[in-house]
Structure 1
Amino acid sequence: MKIIVKAAIGMAAMLVAAGPSWAFPDRPIQLIVPWAAGGGMDSVMRIFAAGFEAELKQPVNVVNRTGGGGITGHTAIAGAAPDGYVVGGISPEISFFKALRLGDLTIDSVDAFSRVSVIPAGVTVKADSPYKTIADYLKAVKDSPKGTLMASGTGVGGSWHIASGGLLKAAGVAPDAVKWVPSNGGAPALNDLVAGGLSVFTGSPIEAKAMLEAGRVRTLLLMTAERHPSFPDIPSAKEAGLDWTYENWFALAGPKGIPAERRKVLFDAAARTMQRPEVRKAMADRGITPVWDKPEEFAAYVTTFTERGNGILRDLGLAKN
C-alpha cells in the first residue's frame, strides 16, 4: 500500500510539474504591433489574431506600440518576457535599424517564426492631384528643386522610404529628390496626404483601399512586375518601363528564449492559422497575399531583402555602414 501511495504521489508531482507546459496557454496572449491602427500591418495582424485566437482557444489581444519609426514596438517584442504570452508583428524596418544607427536591434534580436503576408508598394496621390499618371509624377520630381515634393508612409529609412528611393533611382532621378516626411505608418501618412500635407504616399494601395473606394485618393502605380489581381486597373512598374519592384512583408515573432514546448504550440497554431479559409479569404479580399515560410526560407529571404534595402539606403545617404 505504501508503495502504491508513493507512486501516486510521485505521479501527481510529475503532473503538477508538467501542468504549466501542458496547459499552455492558459491565459490571453498579447500580440504587439509596432505601427499605428488602421495601417497595413495592423490590418494583417488583426486578421491573423482572430484565427490565432481560435487555434489557441485563448484571447489574442492586439496592442499597438508605435513610435521611433518602429523602434518602440519592435523593442517591446524583443524585450518581452520569454514565457510565450507575448508575440508580435515585425516589419522590414527591423532589418535596417542598425544600418541607420537607430539602435542595435536586428532580425537576430527576436525569434522570427515566419512571414505572415506580403503587400506591394505603390504611388498614391490625392484625388485632385495634378499627377494623373506615374509619368506626370516623375516629370514633376525631375522639374522641381530637390525636396519640393514630399512623400511618406513610414519612418525615415523605413520600408516605404526604400520603396520610394528605389523607384526614383530606376527612373533616373536622385533617390533623395523627394523629401521624406516620417510617420508612424500608412494610416497617419494617408491622412496627411488627403489633408494636403504630402505629395505622394508610397506605401501599399492595400493600406489606402478604403480611401481609394471612397474616391479620396488615386494610385498611379504598383511597384510590381505585373498587375495585381486586386487592383487590375493600376499599372505595374514593368508596364511603366521601370526596373524596380518592391513588396513589404509582415512576420510573426517572439522574444528569444521561449521554452521549446511552448514555442512549438505557438508555431504550430500560427501555421494552422495561416491555413484557415476565413483568414486567407479575409487577407485576399483586401489584396493581401498570405504567406507561411519554412524557417530556412524566411532566413534566406530576409538576408537577400536586407542586402537590397541597404543598397538603397546608401543611395539615400542614410546607411552608416
Structure 2
Amino acid sequence: MKSFRKAALALATLALAAGPAFAFPDRPVQLIVPWAAGGGMDAVMRIFAAGFEAELKQPVNVVNRTGGGGITGHTAIANAAPDGYTVGGASPEISFFKTLGLGDLTPESIDFFSRVSVIPAGITVKADSPYKTVADYLKAAKENPKGTMMASGTGVGGSWHIASGGLLKAAGIAPDAVRWVPSNGGAPALQDLVAGGITVFTGSPIEAKGMLDAGRVRTILLMTNERHPNFPDVPSAKEAGLDWVYENWFALSAPKGIPADRRKILFEAAQRTMQREDVRKGMADRGITPIWDKPEEFAAYVKAFTERGNSVLKDLGLAKN
C-alpha cells in the first residue's frame, strides 16, 4: 500500500511539473493597433485579424491604443506579458522614436514577425481645393511663406511627415515649407482636411477611400514609380518628375520573450493567414498590397528604411539623436 502511494505521489508530481495540459491558445488573443480606428493600419489589421482568428480557432480582439504619435500603442506591445496572448501591429514610426528623442523604443524593442502590407503615400486635397495637380501644390508651397500651408496624417516625425518632407525636398523646396499638424492617424487627419483645418493629407489614398468614393477629397499624386491599379487616374511621382518613392508598411509583432513553442504556433498561423484568399482579396480590394517576408529580408528592409527616414528627419531639423 505504501509503495502504491509513493507511485501515485510521483505521478502527481510529474503531472504538476509538466504544467497544465491544454493546446495554445485556449482563450482569446489581443491584437494591439497603435493608431485610430478607421485609419490605414486599423483597416489592414482588422482584415488580418479575421483570418488570424480562423487559423488560431480563437477570437482575436483588435484594441486601438492611440496617443503619442504611436508611442502609446507600440509601448503597450513591447511591455505586454510575453505569454503569446498579445500581439500587435507595428508601423514605421517605431524606427524613429529614438531619433526624435521621444524615448528608447526601437525596432529592437519588439519581436517582429513580418510585414503584412505596404501602402503608398500620396497627396490628397479637399474636393474644392484650388490644387488640381501636384505642380499646383508644389508651386504654392514654394511661393507661400513657410508655415502658411499645413499637412497631416500622423504625429510629428511620423511616417507620413517623412513622406511630406521627402517629397518637398525632391522638388527643390525646403522640407519644412509646409507646416506639419500632428494627428493620431489617417482618419482624424482626413476629418481635419474636409473641415478645412489643413491643406493636404500626405498619407495613403487607401486610408481616404471612403471620402474619395464620396467625392469629398481628391488624390493628386502617389509617391510611387508607377500608377497604382486601384488609382489608375492618379499620376505617380516619377511621372511628375520627382525622385521620391515612399510606402508605409504595417507589420505583425509581439513582445519579446514568448516561449518558442507558442511563438512558432503564432508565426505559422500568421503565415497561413497571409496565404488565405479572403485576407489577400480583402486587402487587394482596398488597394492594400499584402506581403509576407522572410525574417532576414524584413530585417534588411527595416534597416534601409530607417536610414532613409532618419535622413529626412535631419533635413526637417527634428533629429535629436
TM class, shorter-length:
over 0.9
Displacement of 1:320 after TM fit? 1.3
3-state SS of 2:279 partner: helix
Question: Residues of 1 paired with 2:216 and 2:4: CA distance?
Answer: 76
2:72 maps to a residue whose letter is: T
In structure 2, the partner of 1:277 is: 277
Question: Residues of 1 paired with 2:11 and 2:246: CA distance?
Answer: 57
User: Is residue 253 of structure 2 the alignment partner of residue 253 of structure 1?
Assistant: yes
Displacement of 1:101 after TM fit? 0.4
In structure 2, the partner of 1:138 is: 138
Question: Residues of 2 paired with 1:135 and 1:96: CA distance?
Answer: 30
User: Is residue 225 of structure 2 the alignment partner of residue 225 of structure 1?
Assistant: yes
Displacement of 1:11 after TM fit? 6.7
Displacement of 1:67 after TM fit? 0.3
CA offsets per residue over residues 16-51 of structure 1, 9 Å max, x none?
655657511011000000000000000000000000
Instruction: State whether residues 21 and 262 of structure 1, in contact with CA within 8 Å, keep that contact through their aligned partners in structure 2.
Output: no
In structure 1, the partner of 2:53 is: 53
Q: Tell me: CA distance 1:2–1:52, structure 2 relative to 1, closer, same or farther (3 Å).
A: farther
Q: Tell me: CA distance 1:60–1:20, structure 2 relative to 1, closer, same or farther (3 Å).
A: farther
Question: Residues of 2 paired with 1:50 and 1:3: CA distance?
Answer: 54
In structure 2, the partner of 1:89 is: 89
Q: Tell me: CA distance 1:11–1:289, structure 2 relative to 1, closer, same or farther (3 Å).
A: farther
In structure 1, the partner of 2:35 is: 35
Displacement of 1:10 after TM fit? 6.2
Instruction: State whether residues 153 and 189 of structure 1, in contact with CA within 8 Å, keep that contact through their aligned partners in structure 2.
Output: yes
Instruction: Give runs of ≥4 in structure 1 deviating > 2 Å.
Output: 1-22
2:58 maps to a residue whose letter is: Q
Question: Residues of 2 paired with 1:150 and 1:3: CA distance?
Answer: 82
In structure 2, the partner of 1:307 is: 307
The gaps in structure 2 that reach 5 residues or longer are: none
What percent of counterpart residues are identical? 83
Question: Residues of 2 paired with 1:4 and 1:227: CA distance?
Answer: 77
How many residue pairs end up in the alignment? 321
3-state SS of 2:167 partner: helix
Matches within 5 A, 1:108-257: 108-257=108-257
Question: Residues of 1 paired with 2:209 and 2:32: CA distance?
Answer: 23
- Across the aligned residues of Structure 1 and Structure 2, the Cα RMSD in angstroms comes to 1.8
* TM-score under structure 1 length normalisation: 0.96
Displacement of 1:201 after TM fit? 0.1
3-state SS of 2:191 partner: helix
3-state SS of 1:23 partner: coil
1:109 maps to a residue whose letter is: S
User: Is residue 95 of structure 2 the alignment partner of residue 70 of structure 1?
Assistant: no
Displacement of 1:60 after TM fit? 0.3
3-state SS of 2:53 partner: helix
Question: Residues of 1 paired with 2:228 and 2:12: CA distance?
Answer: 58
CA offsets per residue over residues 284-317 of structure 1, 9 Å max, x none?
0000000111111110000000000000000000
1:120 maps to a residue whose letter is: P
Instruction: State whether residues 21 and 261 of structure 1, in contact with CA within 8 Å, keep that contact through their aligned partners in structure 2.
Output: no
CA offsets per residue over residues 132-169 of structure 1, 9 Å max, x none?
00000000101100000000000000000000000000
Displacement of 1:272 after TM fit? 0.4
CA offsets per residue over residues 209-264 of structure 1, 9 Å max, x none?
01001000000000000001111110000000000000000001111110110111
Question: Residues of 2 paired with 1:292 and 1:8: CA distance?
Answer: 50
Question: Residues of 2 paired with 1:242 and 1:183: CA distance?
Answer: 26
Q: Tell me: CA distance 1:16–1:210, structure 2 relative to 1, closer, same or farther (3 Å).
A: farther
Instruction: State whether residues 116 and 274 of structure 1, in contact with CA within 8 Å, keep that contact through their aligned partners in structure 2.
Output: yes
1:74 maps to a residue whose letter is: H
The gaps in structure 1 that reach 5 residues or longer are: none
